[in-house]
Copies of this chain bind each other. A is one copy, B any other.
Amino acid sequence: MNGAQALLTTFVDNGVDVCFANPGTSEMHFVAALDDVTSMRAVLALFEGVATGAADGYARMAGRPAAVLLHLGPGLGNGLANLHNARRAHVPMVTVVGDHAIHHKRFDAPLESDIDAVAATVSGWVHRCMRPGDVGADAAAAIRASGRGEIATLILPADVSWSDGGVPGTVSPLPDPAVDADAVRAASAALRSADRTVILVGGDATRRAGLTAAARLAEATGAEVLCETFPTRLERGAGVPAVPRLIYFAKFAAQQLAGTTHLILAGARSPVSFFAYPDPESPSDLVPAGCTVHPLAGPRGAAAALQQLADEVAPGIVAPLPDVARPAVPTGALDAASLAATVAALLPENAVIVDESNTAGAAVPEATAGAPAHDVLTLTGGAIGYGMPAAVGAAVAVPDRPVLSLQADGSAMYTISALWTQAREGLDITTIVLNNGAYQILRWELANVGVAEPHTRGRRVTDLLDLGNPDLDFVKIAEGMGVPARRVSTAEDLAAALREAFTEPGPHLIEAILRA
């Protein structure tokens, strides 16, 4: 058994049986070992950012890590933006970066670069494997480390992979984090006070169990529950306790939190603005002056802590649950509101929404509040190019659930080749590209950062925020990668296209032309 075979055997023996891969020469023995370890499913990506984003989406829905196979430093670089998003989402991932053979390193060959330094910026655990006999144990350590909700990166020299002497490893699972009794006591006191108290949920508290506990606490004490702006995986819709999200723009988020005396953090970090603005009404730190922050639990164990807190503070209280309430399918030209209503009217049971719709999808959360229960995966780290790859991973993780990928046009172009992987794997993904022909958020941000309104600026400025000239034709692009596609510009056409896409198996793309 060579190192590569020991690696794959360790993976599949310990529940890591999907690998999103973009291999090169230094990974050829890993690829060859797929013939020997046949329970590993390898999914080819045409670009590393697709592989890392898919592993993120997979982990969010499967609840366990996928492996990612990357080629040397440039491959890691290409995957870095979606590794950043995964790091911010606290998802488990095991990243294998193939490297030159150990004896080859000192020659500084053209593809040599500092893999260790780049990997360290996104990984909770980085290790360079040096002997075939260690590969299994190192892989097991990586899987264990990933269980903390981190990226574990194993750098694997080619000769360690091709040499004999591999021994499979065994993972000793991590214990669940203990609930912190002192933190529960402090939160309990805050909730029993007469002051305005907000419970900010994130991490594993944004699924049904955590949301139910938080809603019971709200029902019992009058506290408010808010969800972090970009949750890793938010369960919502009919039958799931509803929770508004903290608004993206600092000025409005500050208004949401104004007057709060106690802020309980259940899996969420203390809220901060995405960006700083010259405007003094847009603070960096979103905690109001005089508010006390009570960290209850980190991203792992937040639901358990909320449940214990609810059993103490809200015994016997039942969380109110929203009923099914869908809008009718609207008619007429598409805009943000009619697009959202159409999606809400037709969302299938048990769907997964991967949301990188940015500005154009802003009306979707409110419209879908009463749609059948569904999961939403969001752009946790703010690095665009996440949606289409994450949809790949989600569809691989839960093949019996329909995936709806809401994708802004500008962001789509970062990792557009994810469509080819969707086609190759026959994944049940419906993508709506929300085409407004611009980096619309930057038009808003240009004003937010204090330069004049975009329409008063010269063409040289607005051209850099504009995706026209030429217009992108997402129908042709999708068809070029094997995904059937159509273009719509009315709500009724969008509805017809959605019905068809949700009915037929395999991927579909709908380019929705939005009225400005």
Evaluate whether A460 and B121 lie within 8 angstroms (CB atoms) in the complex, with A28-B442, A113-B84, A272-B109 already known.
Answer: no
Given known A44-B463, A383-B74, contact A275–B25 (CB-CB < 8 A)? yes
Interface mask (A426-462 → B, CB under 8 Å = 1, otherwise 0) = 0000000000000001100110111110000110110
Cα distance A413–B269 when bound, in Å?
37
Task: Assess the B80–A77 pair: CB atoms within 8 A.
Answer: yes
Q: Do the beta carbons of B118 and A25 come within 8 Å of each other? A: no
- A473 touching B464 in the complex, CB below 8 Å, given contacts A100-B275, A111-B382, A442-B24: no
A458 B35 Cβ-Cβ under 8 A: yes
The interface residues of chain B lying within 8 Å CB-to-CB of A46 are 410, 413-414, 467
Number of interface residues of A (CB under 8 A): 98
Q: Does A321 contact B (CB under 8 A)?
A: no
Contact with B along A39-63 (1 / 0, CB 8 A): 0001010110100000000000000
- Asked if B469 and A480 make an inter-chain contact with CB atoms under 8 angstroms apart, the answer reads no
A86 to chain B, nearest CB (A): 12
Choice from B118, B285, B385, B481 contacting A121 with Cβ under 8 Å: B118
Question: What residue in chain B is nearest A463 (Cβ atoms)?
Answer: B44
Copies in the complex: 2
Residue interface bits A104-139, CB-to-B below 8 A is 1, else 0 = 100111110110011011100000000000000000
A446 CB contact (under 8 Å) in B31, B100, B103, B476: B31
Docked pose: A212 CA to B79 CA in angstroms: 43
Besides A23-B464, A78-B80, A103-B276, 19 more A-B contacts (Cβ < 8 Å) are: A25-B442, A31-B464, A32-B451, A44-B463, A46-B414, A47-B413, A73-B84, A80-B80, A100-B275, A101-B275, A107-B272, A109-B272, A109-B284, A111-B383, A117-B117, A420-B472, A424-B469, A472-B482, A475-B480
Contact A117 B121 (CB under 8 A): yes
A114 touching B109 in the complex, CB below 8 Å, given contacts A457-B35, A460-B42, A471-B482: no
- Interface status of A34 (Cβ within 8 A of chain B): yes
Do A474 and B464 contact each other (CB < 8 Å), given the known contacts A74-B81, A416-B417, A469-B424?
no
Type the 1/0 row for A60-82, where 1 means its CB is closer than 8 Å to any CB of B. 00000000000001110110110
CB of A159 within 8 A of chain B?
A: yes
Asked if A245 is an interface residue, CB under 8 A from chain B, the answer is: no
In the assembled complex, the Cα of A461 lies from the Cα of B8 at a distance in Å of 14
User: Are B107 and A78 closer than 8 Å at their CB atoms?
Assistant: no
Q: B276, A100: Cβ atoms under 8 Å? A: yes
Which of A74, A111, A472 has most B Cβ within 10 Å? A74
In angstroms, how far is the closest chain B Cβ from the Cβ of A273? Answer: 7
CB of A140 within 8 A of chain B?
Answer: no
> Do residues B477 and A480 form an inter-chain contact, with CB atoms below 8 A?
yes
A479 x B469 contact (CB < 8 A): no
Cβ distance A385 to chain B, nearest Cβ, rounded Å: 7
